[in-house]
Structure 1
Amino acid sequence: MPLHFSASLPKPAFLRPHTKSFGLGLVCVGLLAALAACSKHEAAPEPIRAVKVVTVALGNIGSNLEFAGEVRAQTESALGFRVAGKIIQRQAELGQRVKVGQVLAQLDPQDYKLAADAARAQLAAATTNSDLASADYKRYKELKEQNFISGAELERRDSVLKSAQAQVQQAQAQLASSGNQAVYTRLVSDVAGVVTAVSAEPGQVVAGGTPVVKVAQDGARDVVFVVPEDRVAGVQLGSAVAVRVWSSNTELAGKVREVAASADAVTRTFQVKVSIDPKTAPPLGTTVSVLPQSLSRAGVPVIKLPTSALKQEANGTTAVWLLDPASMTVKSQQVVVASADGNEAVISSGLQPGMQVVAAGVHVLAPGQKVTIYQQKTTPAQSASAPAAMNTVATPVAAPVSAAQ
């Protein structure tokens, strides 16, 4: 049966709302929300980075300028046929040693033999005409002595004879030329040496003078290398050069024999030739290292920095971080790199001896950032723990002796 309460009677406590407590709770929640919205989270302070620094000082360059060179013969002859034709045979091979008079290649000589035959026939005809003109002149000369002909007729016969004799000489020269051309169909080496290049193959039609074989003559040897424009002025004729063979690491002495008068059209470098003793020269084509003494930089005082200290600026320049010992902050300093010395950069301007430069971690620093100097941690000595470790090893126990023994 449901309960009915009278309006005059008070309601039970569990049915009466706690209006005062509920309102106070809402006010507290609102204040907490407002405080949470107004409060700002303070950023954690950036940790002070530890950096490695080096003190700028003058040092000596330990490396020399080194160039890659190649051993070549002082004289290389590009041999070719003196006449045009089709190559029917090539006896020379790359790397082959040849002698004076050795046949290197052969053209088809048939056309030149026919030309020689034609020249020989022309010579025979010219000789016959000359003999006939000579006989006529002799007869007319006798008639002139008997006054049967005039002097003008004799002079005419003399002119005919001289013309016939000239035709004979022309035919003889033509025959000699045709004979020479037939001989020129054989490419013969006029020097002793080694074949270093082959430019034509059998079946190929070549023009007169086209290089077919290149022969490096025996005798003097050169080391050929190139230098850039800014170094060619330091290479003097007759200056000493050290030549180091890559394969055997042996060093040879040489002298500058020739410096190119103009730069290469493509590489813009200057070719330099160094003469070496042919008795100790390595084989042709050997790659060597060339160290010109006139370009030596050993002992020159310069400022050097490890390459890890360099950084690239947005404008393309090179800079380093300088440490201010008073405030222990860093600032950027622009420098000019002249060259490299091993794994170090040679600085030409921007630094003075005594400055401190950050040597590592340059890409995580900012101007004015506070830093500390990195101190290498020392590891505790392990010698003290070694005896303790030895004492923990169990000593082997002897086996018990049997009672029966």
Structure 2
Amino acid sequence: MNYESRFSENGEAVGALSDEDARRKRRRTVIAAALGCAAIIGTAGYFFSGGDEKAAGSAAASADKSMPVVTVMVPGTQEISRIVSATGSLAARREMPVGSVGEGGMVTNVLVEPGAWVRKGQVLATVERSVQTQQLQQLSAQINVARADARLAQAELDRAQALVARGFVSKADIDRKAATRDSADARVRVAEASLAEARARTGRLDIRAPEAGLVLTRDVEPGQVVSGGSGVLFRLALGGEMELRAEVAESDLQNIRVGGTANVTPVGTNLTFPGKIWQISPVVNPTSRQGVARILLGYDKALRPGGFASVNIVSGTAVAPLLPESAVLSDGKINYVYVVDAGDKVVRRDVQVGQVADAGVSVLSGISGNERIVLSAGAFLNPGEKIKPVLAKKQK
């Protein structure tokens, strides 16, 4: 039997092992080494077996991160008003020029200012009439003379008729006295007519409003001498009604109708006034290729005749998708949008746009409204590019 001796660190023997003990010790060492190798191999196999899956997942994650995130919308359809936009000048719907209709004279007083409301027949200015007043007094005195002559002629006729039965007055004398009486009555009527004529002419010296309305301009001052040839002294707007004379393109004239509604915005204000088309020009300017649509407006101090204004005329309604302007692109020839297909790829779709307004752009053809439309990043995308779409939140 073999023995193995163990020695201490200083070389002294501390005991011995038998052959059996040595074999057991070697077996345990081999088993431990085998187990260690198996653990190493298993660990390596675990890592190597999962490497491909992790690499694939990492590649997929990188590809997913490289796709652009793009906001899209599904517009649907809605009823959209067709709008014709135009510009034009404000004016009185019916402007009334007022001048002197009498023989004229020196203006003594002007009674109204621009912006004043006047009624029919109201005096706007007076003209000096001292001469006419003397003429009226003279004609009035002539009427008194004529009436006195008529009374005398009637009295003489009555006395003559009383003497006819006694034979003191002939029938011929009665006829002459009756004619004298009739002539005196006629002279009374002539004098009265002359007085009425003079009064009418004197009354025409006053410059009056022909109808109720708003005074727009005043071109006369006290001391000014006026006559029938003096031109326009006042301008009035009949009833204060205003209008916009909108210049509409020839192609748009076919789409508007008398009675159509419109919204008018004077330049320099943020005010909008409702109006109604009451007349459309039957002719088109051959130079500008435009016609005039006259839009009736109520009175407002912001509506100043001669001013400039823009107008949106409602020419009907249509059911169509409505997109924000950022979603509609153009290549210089045609408008288009980007549609996202079922595979999240970008597809170009040519469209025909309609009305462009603050609410957006109406699309007349090219899309149905049920597609996913790229909202605002179209300029940075290419057809066929795959994206990561995010649906935009609907605004309340």
For 2:135, the aligned partner's letter is A
- In the TM superposition, residue 246 of structure 1 has moved relative to its aligned partner by 2.7
The structure where helix makes up a greater share of residues is 2
Contact 1:130–1:164 (8 Å) recurs in 2: yes
Distance (Å, rounded) in 2 between the aligned partners of 1:137 and 1:266: 82
Q: CA deviation at 1:196?
A: 1.1
1:243 aligns with 2:256: no
Aligned to 2:243: 222
Measure, in 2, the Cα distance between the counterparts of 1:258 and 1:205: 37
Does residue 149 of the first structure (1) align with residue 169 of the second (2)?
A: yes
Q: 2:224 aligns with which of 203, 206, 221?
A: 203
1:106 paired to 2:161? no
The CA deviation at 1:261 is 5.3
Tell me by how many angstroms 1:92 deviates: 5.1
- Which of residues 103, 125, 128 is equivalent to 2:148? 128
Are 2:312 and 1:291 equivalent residues in the alignment? yes
Q: Secondary structure at the match of 1:248?
A: coil
User: Please, what TM-score do these two structures have when normalized by structure 2?
Assistant: 0.51
1:88 aligns with 2:107: yes
For residues 111-190 of structure 1, the aligned pairs below 5 Å read 111-189=131-209
Aligned partners of 2:284 and 2:190: how far apart in 1? 50
Partner of residue 319, structure 1: none
- Structure 1 residue 255: deviation in Å? 1.4
Show structure 2 runs of 5+ residues with no match.
1-81, 321-329, 334-355, 358-379, 381-396
Is the contact made by 1:83 and 1:208 (CA closer than 8 Å) also made in structure 2?
A: no
After TM superposition, the structure 1 stretch with the greater mean CA deviation from structure 2, 269-278 or 159-168, is 269-278
Q: What is the distance in 2 between the residues matched to 1:138 and 1:276?
A: 71
- Kindly indicate whether the alpha-carbon contact (under 8 Å) linking 2:84 and 2:313 is maintained by their aligned counterparts in 1: yes
Q: Which has the larger radius of gyration?
A: 2
- For the 8 Å contact 2:217–2:235, the answer to whether it is kept is yes
Cα distance in 1, alignment partners of residues 180 and 159 from structure 2: 13
RMSD: 4.5
Q: In 2 relative to 1, CA 208–117 (structure 1 residues): closer, same or farther, beyond 3 Å? A: farther
Distance change (3 Å), C-alpha of 1:288 and 1:128: same
Indicate the residue corresponding to 1:257 in structure 2: 278
Partner of residue 68, structure 1 = 87
Distance 2:231 2:200 in 1: 18
| Structure ranking higher in strand proportion | 2
1:207 Cα deviation from its structure 2 partner: 0.8
Provide the C-alpha distance between the structure 2 equivalents of 1:257 and 1:104, rounded to a whole number of angstroms: 31
Tell me the distance in 2 between the aligned counterparts of 1:263 and 1:161. Answer: 71
Which of 252, 261, 272 is the matching residue for 2:293?
A: 272
Cα distance change, pair 175–245 in 1 and its aligned pair in 2 (3 A): same
CA contact (8 A) 1:225 1:272 kept: yes
* TM superposition shift of 1:83: 0.7
User: Aligned to 2:236, what secondary structure does the other structure show?
Assistant: strand
Are 2:85 and 1:79 equivalent residues in the alignment?
A: no
Q: CA deviation at 1:168?
A: 0.7
Q: CA deviation at 1:213?
A: 0.8
Shift, 1:159, TM fit? 2.3
- Residue aligned with 2:141, SS: helix
What is the deviation of 1:171? 1.0
Aligned-residue sequence identity (percent) comes to 20
Instruction: Indicate if the aligned counterparts of 2:123 and 2:209 stay in contact, CA closer than 8 A.
Output: yes
Alignment partners' CA distance in 1, 2:287 and 2:129? 41
Aligned mates of 1:200, 1:219 — CA distance in 2: 21
Q: Deviations over 1:55-88 (max 9, x none)?
A: xxxxxxxx96533234444443323333121232
Contact 2:261/2:274, CA 8 A, preserved across alignment: yes
Q: Tell me: CA distance 1:215–1:258, structure 2 relative to 1, closer, same or farther (3 Å).
A: same
1:265 and 1:185 map into 2 onto residues whose CA distance is 46
Unaligned runs of 5+ in 1: 1-62, 308-340, 343-375, 377-405
Q: Which amino acid aligns with 1:82?
A: V
- Name which of structure 1's ranges 280-289 and 165-174 shifts more when overlaid on structure 2: 280-289
State the shift of 1:238 in Å.
0.7
Question: Which letter does structure 2 place at the counterpart of 1:127?
Answer: R
Aligned 8 A contact 2:154 2:181 in 1:
yes
Q: 1:295 to 1:98 in 2, by over 3 A?
A: same
Contact 2:83 2:315 in 1 (8 A): no
- Tell me the secondary structure at the aligned position of residue 114 of structure 2: coil
Matched-pair contact (CA < 8 Å) for 1:82–1:209: no
Distance in 2, matches of 1:264 and 1:91, equals 41
Using the alignment, how far apart are the partners of 1:179 and 1:289 within structure 2?
A: 51
